[in-house]
Structure 1
Amino acid sequence: MSAPTEFVTWFRSAAPYIRTFSGQTFVIAFDGDVIEEGNFTDLTHDINLLVSVGVKVVLIHGARPQIERAIKAKKLKPVMSSARIRVTDEQSLTCVKEANGRLRLEIEALLSMGLPNTPLAGSPIRVTSGNFVIAQPKGVINGVDHLYSGDVRKVRCEAINKRLEDGELVLISPLGYSATGEIFNLTYEDVATEVAVAIGANKLIYLSDQAGLSDKKGNLLQELTTSALKLQAKNKTKDPLQDRIKASLIKASEGGVDRLHVIDRKINGGILLELFTHEGIGTMVSRDPLETIRNATLDDIGGILSLIEPLENEGVLIKRPRENLETEIQKFTIVEHDGLVVGCVALNPFGKEKIGELACLAVHSSFQYAGVGERLLKAIEKNCAKQKLTHVFVLTTASSHWFLENGFRQTNLTALPKAKANLYNYQRNSKIYIKTIK
C-alpha cells in the first residue's frame, strides 16, 4: 500500500474519533521529564491538532527533575517521608516556586510558537494560567510534619470551564493556594485527578516513562477496567510514581471520567496514535468493558455495511442491499468495541429442519487476530441452542480452514435444508461446512 493510500485509509478510520472528540475535554498530565528530554516541541504539534479539531485541552505539568536540580544547586538536603512524599520546608518551597515558574513560562513559550513550516503555522494556541487550585497542608503523617507539601482541597472548575469555552488552553502547575495566602507543593498526579473530576473531563491522559501499564510479566495491558486496575494496584511496586498514576486513574474513573490513558512520552505522535487508531499504543482504562456482544439494531447498519462492503467487493460475501439489511437486522449479532462495530454475523434459522445458517461473518481488519470471530461463533451457537437447532452450517469460498479449526466439518448439498439447497449458486462453488450444536 502506498503512503498516500495509507494516509487516506488512516484518515477515514480516524473520522469517527474526530467527530466524537470534538467538543470534549481532555486533561493531559506529564512530569517535568518531558521538557528535560526535549520532547515537548513534538507534543505541541499534537496538542495544536487536538485543539484544531475542537478538543478542549487542560495541561497539568509536573516539575520533579527541575525541583531536584534547584535543591541540589542550593545544596539543600531533599527529605522524603515514609509515605514516599517530599517534605517541603521554607527553603525547599523557594526551589519549588522557582522551578515551577520557569517551567510554566517555558511551556507557554513553546505553545505560542505557532508551529512554523507546518499547516498550523500562524495559529498559535492561546494559553491561560491562574490560581485554579485551592490547597491545604498534608499535615502530620506517621509522625512527620510535611510542612508546605499539600493536597488539593478545591478546584475552581467554573473558571477553568469558562476559559475552555473561550477557546483557550488551560495550563496548571502543581501548586496550590490557601485562603491565608500560603502556597503548597502538590503532586501533579493529585492535581490532574482532582481537576479532571471537577471539570467533568472526558479523558485523563498520562504521558509516562513506560509504554503503559503492565502485568506481572511485564506485558503491556492495552485495556483494563477500573475493577481490574484496583486489583492490580493492591500490589505496590518499587516505582512510587507508577503507583500514584494507578491511584489517580482509579480515583478519576470512580469520579466520572469516562476514559483514562497511559502513553509512552518518548513516542513521537503518541497521543495521536493512542486516540485516533483502533489499536492504540498504550493502556486505556474504562469503568466498563470496552467490548460488548449484542443483538444488532437499525442504528448499527452503517457499521455493518462498513465491514461487509469490502468483502462483497472482493467476492468473499454475496452483495446485500441496504434494504435487505434493514428487514433482516434482527438476525444479526455484532461485536462493539468502544463504540465501533468491529464484527458481525447473521443466523438464518430453518426451524422445521432444526438447522441454522451462519451468514455474513465479517471482522474489522484491525481485529482479525483478536478472537472476535470466535466470540461471534459462540454467540451464534448459543442462539442456535436457544432456538433448539441441532446443527449450524455455512457456505464459504475463502475461510475453509478457519471453520475447520472451529469444529466444522465439510459436507455436501444433501445436508442443507431443501429451501437452501435449491438456491445453491454453482457458479460461486461455495464449500459447505456443518457443526453439531452441543
Structure 2
Amino acid sequence: MSDELNYVDWFRHSSPYINAHRGKTFVILIPGEALESPHFSGIIHDLTLLDSLGIRLVLVQGARPQIDKILSTRQHNSVFEEGYRITPQDQLMDIIQASAAVRVQLEAQLSMGLSNTPMAGASLKVCSGNYVIARPLGVVNGIDYGHSGEVRRIDSEAIFRLLEDDNMVLLPHLGFSPTGEVFNLKGEEVAIQAAIQLKADKLIILTEEEGIFDNQDKLHSELLIHDAQTILSSKRLNSITQAALEACVAAVRQHVPRAHIISFNENGGLLRELFTREGAGTMIDEDSYEQLRPAHIDDVGGMMALLAPLEEKGVLVRRSRELLENEIDRFIVIERDGAIVACAAIYPFEQENAGELACLAVSPDYRGANRGDRLLKGIEQAAKSLNLTRVFLLTTRTAHWFIERGFSETSLASLPAKKQALYNYQRNSKIFAKSL
C-alpha cells in the first residue's frame, strides 16, 4: 500500500512539470551505445510517454559503435581528427549501412503496440528524411576529411510541419548536400543545430554517464554556463562526456533555454530528470532556475516547514506563523520550482548602522550547492541597501561556517542596546560580526 501511495504522491507532484512541458519541443540525442543498453526498451517507453503528454520530440540518432563494428568486419581502420571520424570514399557505404540499421531499429521499436505494455495504443508516427543539409569539412591543416561534414542548416520549416501534425521526427547523423552527396556528421553537432534552429525548449543528450560529477564524485544536478566551461577547460572528462557537455554549453549559449545530460543506463532517468525536482542527471542553463528573491506572504507556509526541524533541534529560535507574517519583509528566500528551499532574514538596527542576520536555513535535500552562500550574499546586499555597515548574528551550532565566510567572534557589549536587552542567557549563543 505504501508503494501505491508513493506513486500517487509522485504523480500528483509531477503535474506542474506535465503542464510546463506540454507543447514544448525537445531535441534528444540517442547515441548508438544506447541501443545496446539493457534499458533501451525503457527509453522507448519513456519517449512514448513524453509523446502522449504532448511534448514534441525530435530524435537525433548516433551510430558510433555500430560503425566501429561494421568497419572492423571490413578490416577498415577508423581515424579521428579533432573529434571527427575521417570518412574515406571506400568507407562511406559501410557508414550509411550502419546508420540505416540503427534508424530501422529505432523505428521498429517506436512502432510497437502490444497489449499489456507501455506501448499499447500508442500508434506513434515517426518521420525521417533529408532535413539536415550539410557541407564537407574539406581539407584542414593538410588533412582531407573525405565525406565527413558539418551541418549547413536544418530544414526547420519542414520539421515544424511534421511536429504540428503530431509526428515524432528522427534525424540521422548523416547530412545531404545540394549536389547530391552524403556526409557523415557528428551526432552532437546535428543535435546542437537542430535545437538552435528549431528554437527548442530543451536539448537532451543521453550518455553512459549519469551526468557531470565534481572532484568528490558528487553529481552536479545543475551547472551554470561558466561552471560548465571551467570543467571543460580542466579536460578531466572522458571524450564522450566532454563532447556531450560541449554540446550542451554550445546550445545554451545560442539561447536554447536548458540542456540535460542523462544516463541511458538508468531506468527511468529521463522521466526523473523531467518530472521531479531532484532530477536524475545534470542540467546546464545560463541562469539558475532557482530564484533568490524577497519573501512574500504566500511563502510563510513553506518557510515554516523549512524552519520547523531546525527549531525542534534548538538550532533556531521558534517563530510563530503570526510572527513570520508580521516580519515577512525582513526575509529573502530561494524558490525552486514553486518550493521554498532556503531562507534568511535581516533585522536592521539603524542607529548603530548594524543588522542582525537570522533564520538562515537550507533544506537538507538541497544542501551542498552553495545555497547558503547565495543567501548570505543576498543578506549582505540587502544590508548595504539599508546603509548598514555591519552584520552580526547569534548562533549555537554553526559558528565555523560563518568564521569561514569572514565573521569574527565578538562580545555581547558590541551588540546594539536593544539586542543586548533581549539576549537569552539560557541559550548562551555565541556572537559573530562582519564589517561590510
Give the counterpart letter for 2:67 in structure 1.
I
Equivalent residues of 1:90, 1:148 under 8 A apart:
yes
Equivalent residues of 1:353, 1:417 under 8 A apart:
no
Q: CA deviation at 1:202?
A: 1.5
Aligned to 2:315: none
Give me the TM-score of the superposition, normalised by structure 1: 0.80
Q: CA deviation at 1:267?
A: 0.7
Q: CA deviation at 1:215?
A: 4.8
Cα distance change, pair 314–433 in 1 and its aligned pair in 2 (3 A): closer
Give the counterpart letter for 1:126 in structure 2.
K
Q: CA deviation at 1:29?
A: 0.6
Distance (whole Å) between structure 2 residues aligned to residue 86 and residue 393 of structure 1? 60
Distance (whole Å) between structure 1 residues aligned to residue 210 and residue 12 of structure 2? 26
Aligned to 1:99: 98
Equivalent residues of 1:308, 1:362 under 8 A apart:
no
Distance (whole Å) between structure 2 residues aligned to residue 378 and residue 353 of structure 1? 21
Aligned to 1:154: 153
Give the counterpart letter for 1:187 in structure 2.
K
Give the counterpart letter for 2:177 in structure 1.
S
Distance (whole Å) between structure 1 residues aligned to residue 5 and residue 429 of structure 2? 37
Equivalent residues of 1:410, 1:431 under 8 A apart:
no
Give the counterpart letter for 1:57 in structure 2.
L
Q: CA deviation at 1:289?
A: 4.2
Q: CA deviation at 1:303?
A: 5.0
Cα distance change, pair 238–263 in 1 and its aligned pair in 2 (3 A): closer
Equivalent residues of 1:384, 1:392 under 8 A apart:
no
Aligned to 2:406: none
- 1:272-316 Cα distance to aligned partner (Å, 9 max, x none): 2222333333222112345553333x5xx5455334257669986
Aligned to 2:259: 260
Equivalent residues of 2:410, 2:433 under 8 A apart:
no
Q: Percent identity?
A: 36
Q: CA deviation at 1:139?
A: 0.9
Equivalent residues of 1:127, 1:168 under 8 A apart:
yes
Equivalent residues of 2:277, 2:337 under 8 A apart:
no
**3-state SS in 2 of match to 1:401:** coil
Give the counterpart letter for 2:433 in structure 1.
I
Deviates more, 1:173-182 or 1:15-24: 15-24
Give the counterpart letter for 1:26 in structure 2.
F
Aligned to 2:183: 184
- 1:240-280 Cα distance to aligned partner (Å, 9 max, x none): 43343233223212211111111222111111222233333
Deviates more, 1:225-234 or 1:147-156: 225-234
Alignment of 1:288-303 (within 5 A): 288-296=287-295, 298=296, 301-303=297-299
| Structure 2 residue 45 is matched with structure 1 residue 45 | yes
**3-state SS in 1 of match to 2:302:** helix
Cα distance change, pair 390–232 in 1 and its aligned pair in 2 (3 A): closer
* Structure 1 unaligned residues grouped into runs of 5+: 425-429
Aligned to 2:321: 320
Give me the TM-score of the superposition, normalised by structure 2: 0.81
Cα distance change, pair 437–145 in 1 and its aligned pair in 2 (3 A): same
- 1:205-231 Cα distance to aligned partner (Å, 9 max, x none): 111122223456765444322233334
Give the counterpart letter for 1:252 in structure 2.
A
Aligned to 2:54: 54
- 1:72-108 Cα distance to aligned partner (Å, 9 max, x none): 33x2413314434222233322112222222112111
Deviates more, 1:371-380 or 1:139-148: 371-380
Cα distance change, pair 384–251 in 1 and its aligned pair in 2 (3 A): closer
Equivalent residues of 1:259, 1:286 under 8 A apart:
yes
Give the counterpart letter for 2:28 in structure 1.
I
Deviates more, 1:121-130 or 1:79-88: 79-88
- 1:328-354 Cα distance to aligned partner (Å, 9 max, x none): 553221124477542123344454687
Distance (whole Å) between structure 1 residues aligned to residue 78 and residue 401 of structure 2? 61
Give the counterpart letter for 2:47 in structure 1.
I
Distance (whole Å) between structure 1 residues aligned to residue 40 and residue 106 of structure 2? 8
Aligned to 1:136: 135
Aligned to 1:126: 125
| Structure 2 residue 304 is matched with structure 1 residue 308 | yes
Aligned to 1:21: 21
Aligned to 1:427: none
| Structure 2 residue 247 is matched with structure 1 residue 248 | yes
* Number of equivalences: 422
